[in-house]
Structure 1
Amino acid sequence: MSMRSKERHARLLEALNAGEIDIDELAQRFAVSASTVRRDLQQLSKTNAVRRTYGGAILTGHAIETTFEQRLAVDGDAKQAIARAAVDLIEDGDTLILDAGSTVAAFGRLLLQRRLRIITNNLALLPFLAKAPAIELVVLGGALRSTSMSTMGPLANEALRRLSATRAIMSADGVVAGRGLCEADLEQVALKSLMMQQAKELVVLADASKLGRAEQQAWAPLPPRWTLVTDAGASPQQCQRLADAGARVIVAQGCLAA
């Protein structure tokens, strides 16, 4: 490998340290052709230094966070099955905290005929919940997080500290026995942890692909007892590990008691 190639590889790794960058942007930055960048990234991927993505690359160890619309489109049947199972846990008169996330959004859309008080930072749900005749809606303010269509930050935290709930309904990028819920940044997990504290019960909605997944770097520890609602793709081994860690695991129409 030439000295110029080695220098370019080092600069590529430095640029990717900020996150995912597409090939055209890298080519423009280093004044080389897109095909040259592709060859460089291919060589780096062979050493596991980077992971190729659609149209670009990311450093190994950086998880790619998808947008809310992309998550909503993935595993739609599983999300609906989880949402229907979770609705059976809710009683009229409950006060619910609804987290951000596409699976929680699917759950929230099934509540429109229920008599509930709902506290949420999930902006995608507002057009639906606002029309529900028997739902008292409390919206947490704060900074907009466009990738999840939610609010977060000090304002959301301060508002939530003044409220309490029967149940918190939450999602996550990953659910790991003994570690908790993982997300992309600390502000997300700070709000999630507060949601758990302000509710008597915790219900986590997560499809099978989220179980054991630990790609993100920020963690919200789980309480000693909580409920997981997942889909039929979850393996018995995954369910048992979570049950052993304190979860009541509901799989589609079945339940594995902790």
Structure 2
Amino acid sequence: MMNGAARRREIRDLLRVGPIAVAELSERYNVSESTIRRDLARLSESGEIVRTYGGALSSNTAEEQPLREREQLAGAEKAAIARTAEPHAAECRLVLLDAGTTVGALAGRLAARGGLTVATTGLTSINILAGVPGIELIVLGGTVRQLSLGMVGPLAESAVSRLTADAAFLGADGVVAGRGICEARPEQTALKQLMIDRSREVCVLADSGKLGRANSHWWATFDRRWTLITDASATEEQLRPFHADPLCTVEVAAP
């Protein structure tokens, strides 16, 4: 049997790939869940991991990335997702755009459409759409989060609660089949939940690195049909739970 030090080193390396539950680690190493919790406690004390409800994740992935860093990641994938998402706005009169770089890529495509009202909390989309002919831009004001350059809080929530949209296009830190969208802060998920509730159609734009990722503690959930639009790098293993979710329709963007 692997000794404790070797097991902890391996657990630390596994967590760099993504969060793992205590039960999964217990089964993997054929030790009790109490033993795994002690391992995680020691790794947490050293700052190598962060404990979560029922498991842990690497401290290197625990923090939300600033938007300026995310703009440099998966550019081709985000462009493909935006291209696949655009037809969902074809028959819309008013759409809601979340903050974030993937939704911002969609804003770039909508700028050429005209005849559309766009309500958004994202400064990326605002900068793209401001002054574009044929686009009526509604800025859903609130408190600007420096990391995402998106607006949150009671002012933004009040604005969203006063409208209905034909479609909402949402980003996410992570998306889990049967569970929903996770974000770093509760005010983010509160606003996303309102967007879900106030829209006829909901599309989640998430590159493959977000699928199954549950490294944040706050969730917006789905109680009706929604569409996941992801990129061609998504594996069958990643997509299987979403295909099995009766509320979810999966669209994979061609590269």
Q: TM-score, normalised by structure 1?
A: 0.75
8 Å CA contact 1:45, 1:51 repeated in 2: no
State the partner residue of 1:240: 240
- Pairing 1:48–2:43 present: yes
CA distance in 2, matches of 1:142, 1:76: 28
Q: Deviations over 1:28-50 (max 9, x none)?
A: xxxxxxxxxxxxxxxx9993216
Please give the residue correspondences for 1:27-176 in structure 2 after superposition, counting only pairs within 5 Å: 47-49=42-44, 59-61=50-52, 63-114=62-113, 115-176=115-176
Pair 51,209 (structure 1): closer, same or farther in 2 beyond 3 Å: farther
What root-mean-square deviation, in Å, do the aligned CA atoms of Structure 1 and Structure 2 show? 2.1
Aligned AA (1:148)? S
Distance 2:138 2:182 in 1: 26
The answer to whether the Cα contact below 8 Å between 2:92 and 2:167 also exists between their aligned partners in 1 is no
Structure 1 stretches of 5 or more lacking a match?
1-43
| Displacement of 1:131 | 2.4
> CA-to-partner distance for each residue in 1:6-26, whole Å, 9 max, x for gaps?
xxxxxxxxxxxxxxxxxxxxx
State the Cα distance separating 1:128 from its structure 2 match: 1.7
The structure having more radius of gyration, on CA atoms, is: 1
In the alignment, the residues of structure 1 paired with residue 51 and residue 45 of structure 2 have an alpha-carbon distance, to the nearest angstrom, of: 5
**Structure 1 residues 143 and 225 mapped into 2: Cα distance closer, same or farther (>3 Å)?**
same
Measured after TM superposition, the shift of residue 93 of structure 1 is 4.4
**Shift of the alpha carbon at 1:127?**
2.1
* Greater relative contact order structure (CA < 8 Å, 6+ sep): 2
**Does the alignment pair 1:202 with 2:197?**
no
Equivalent pairs counted in the alignment come to 207
Is contact 1:51-1:59 (8 Å) kept? no
* TM-score, normalised relative to structure 2: 0.76
| Paired residue secondary structure (1:49) | helix
Structure 1 runs, 4 residues or longer, greater than 2 Å off: 44-47, 57-62
Q: 1:49 to 1:103 in 2, by over 3 A?
A: same
Q: Counterpart of 2:127 in 1: which secondary structure?
A: helix
